[in-house]
């Protein structure tokens, strides 16, 4: 069943969708009154609702509510060194499917793509739309945030106090369930095409990051976050 | 260091590359004599070699040999229901990075894209090139095979005798290390956009497949194989 995020809580059992979601329901999906959709309040509740009317505004009657069960046990912030081309867009889409809580574009020494603050702000708008769509499609209970572009140093500072996992192609330890035990906030650092510099790796060590490896093969910068998130979710979902 | 697969074993300590690899080294990378490359014989050995001459044929002198260490402990065959558009191409690229041994395109009830045998044979040539490139870049010790398109029934029959993991969005058990213990051949079944039909899931159960879930979120058909392979490799690489 199509799933959308509410922008305002239902009133008297009636939910209203406007903008892109209304257009999507009315024009793309061509849904009609009496068809059902799922609405998520992004605060832990999913609603099944019956469409009453479509158009610029879609009005739906709430039929039932239940808790959203798809949120991971820990908040995961992905600090992703900006990759070339449009890789960032699908890193965002896939990371949202794989349970990320927040994605923060990060500029590291070896980033080839170095968008200006202005360009980064424009991309952020697009990235937020991608995150919202992916969250709806993958049944997330929240819309993951897209942070504003920061430097590696700013990322290290911002992640202080969380469990910091620094993925380093020059070696580290594999992730372990014990490593995550009790962690409620996890920060995942992933490099760009050129990986991290030695200086960055040393700074990460000194800051107390765990230096981890994602296995014996060399992963592209767009594959590494998906592999890391897949394993993190697997470990977090174990009893 | 750039890495290529040998098409013939070195003779008297001299290796020769032709075709695409020679063009790539000479034109794209613009490498010169005395620069070093890594050559893999796809049989378990990696060689460091110094370029003697470039051009239509690249000649290189073997400096040292060592065993390739990047191959997983189990052979994993991915039976992937054919997705729409060009998703198959990057499923192949990413799966090779994540250690797959063999990828077999499979037609299931809900496949929207249904290439004819002729069209599938053409795609297979392209898929093999993508697999070869990804294997070189990710440091694989083999070039994963691309099987010829088969039906779901043929895939079930071909995978008999292996540990069969059937990823089903309507529920199953999470992967567990114990599940893999001792398995040397693993077959991974992933559906298309529409997932598997109930009939296919029942056939898989009757055939003795393990029905598994990839977590609480709904993954796209191109994300599911990457998540499954990431977790499989993680489990296989644990001591």
The tokens describing B87, both together, are: 């998703």
CATH class of B3-67: mainly beta
CB contact under 8 A, B97 and A220: yes
State which residues of chain B have pLDDT below 70. Answer: 239
Is residue A172 less than 8 Å (CB to CB) from chain B?
no
Chain B residues with CB-CB distance to A70 below 8 A:
216-217
Q: What is the 3-state secondary structure (H, E, C) of chain A?
A: CCEEECCCCCECCEEEECHHHHHHHHHHCCCCCCCEEEEECCCCEEEEEEEEECCCCEEEEEEEEEECCCCCCCEEEEEEECCCCCHHHHHHHHHHHCCCCEEEEEECCCCCCCCCHHHHHHHHHHHHHHHHHHHHHCCCCCCCEECCCEEHHHHHHHCCCCEEEEECCCCCECCCHHHHCCCCEEEEEECECCECCHHHHHHHHHCCCEEECCCCCCCCCCCHHHHHHHHHHHHHHCC
Q: Are A164 and A106 in contact (CB under 8 A)?
A: no
pLDDT truncated to tens, each residue of chain A (239 aa)? 888 999 888 999 999 999 989 999 999 899 999 999 999 998 888 999 999 999 999 999 999 998 887 788 899 999 999 999 999 999 999 999 999 999 999 999 999 989 999 999 999 999 999 999 999 989 899 999 999 999 999 999 999 999 999 999 888 998 988 888 888 999 999 999 989 999 999 999 999 999 999 988 889 999 999 999 999 999 988 85
Least CB-CB distance to A99: which of B69, B97, B217? B217
Predicted confidence at residue A239, as pLDDT, reads 55
Tell me, what's the ipTM? 0.87
A29-38 confidence digits (pLDDT tens): 999 999 999 9
Asked if the domains at A3-67 and A75-236 fall in one CATH topology, the answer is no
Contact by Cβ (8 Å): A146, A175: no
**Residue B216 confidence (pLDDT):** 82
Chain A CB contacts of B140 under 8 Å are: 217
Residue-wise pLDDT for B36-90, tens only, equals 999 998 888 899 999 999 999 999 999 999 988 778 889 999 999 999 999 999 9
Domain ranges of chain A: 3-67, 75-236
Residue to mutate among A1, A227, A229, with most B CBs inside 10 A, is A227
Whole-angstrom CA distances from A118 to A104, A148, A155, A172 are 16, 11, 19, 36
Q: What is the pLDDT of residue B99?
A: 94
Specify the pTM.
Answer: 0.88
- Residues A96/A57, Cβ–Cβ less than 8 Å: no
Task: Please report how the helices A224-237 and B224-237 are oriented relative to each other, as an axis angle in degrees rounded to 10.
Answer: 70
Put simply, the chain B residues between 58 and 97 with a CB less than 8 A from any chain A CB are 69-70, 94, 97
Domain A75-236 falls in which CATH fold? Alpha/beta knot (3.40.1280)
> What is the CB-side half-sphere exposure of residue A71 using CA atoms within 13 A?
19
Query: What is the per-residue pLDDT for B224?
Result: 96
Taking contacts as CB-CB distances below 8 angstroms, the residues of chain A near B233 are: 215, 227
Q: Which residue of B has its CA nearest to A100?
A: B217
Beta carbons of B238 and A139 less than 8 Å apart: no
């Amino acid at each position: 069943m199509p799933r959308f995020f509410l922008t305002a809580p239902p009133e008297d059992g009636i939910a209203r969708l406007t903008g892109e979601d209304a257009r999507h329901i009315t024009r793309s999906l061509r849904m009609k009154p009496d068809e059902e959709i799922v609405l998520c309040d992004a605060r832990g509740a999913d609603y099944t609702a019956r469409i009453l009317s479509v158009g610029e505004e879609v009005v739906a009657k709430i039929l039932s509510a239940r808790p959203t069960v798809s949120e991971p046990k820990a908040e995961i912030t992905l600090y992703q060194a900006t990759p070339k081309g449009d890789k960032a867009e699908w890193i965002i889409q896939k990371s949202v499917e794989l349970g990320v809580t927040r994605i923060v574009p990060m500029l590291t020494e070896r980033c080839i793509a170095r968008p200006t603050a202005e360009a980064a702000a424009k991309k952020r708008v697009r990235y937020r739309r991608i995150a919202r769509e992916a969250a709806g499609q993958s049944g997330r209970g929240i819309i993951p945030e897209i942070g504003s572009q920061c430097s590696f140093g700013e990322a290290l500072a911002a992640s202080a106090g969380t469990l910091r996992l620094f993925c380093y192609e020059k070696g580290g330890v594999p992730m372990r369930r014990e490593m995550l035990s009790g962690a409620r906030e996890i920060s995942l650092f992933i490099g760009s095409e050129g990986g991290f510099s030695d200086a960055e790796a040393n700074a990460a060590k000194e800051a107390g990051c765990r230096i981890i490896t994602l296995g014996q093969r060399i992963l592209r910068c767009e594959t590494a976050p998906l592999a890391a998130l897949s394993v993190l979710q697997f470990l977090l979902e174990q009893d």
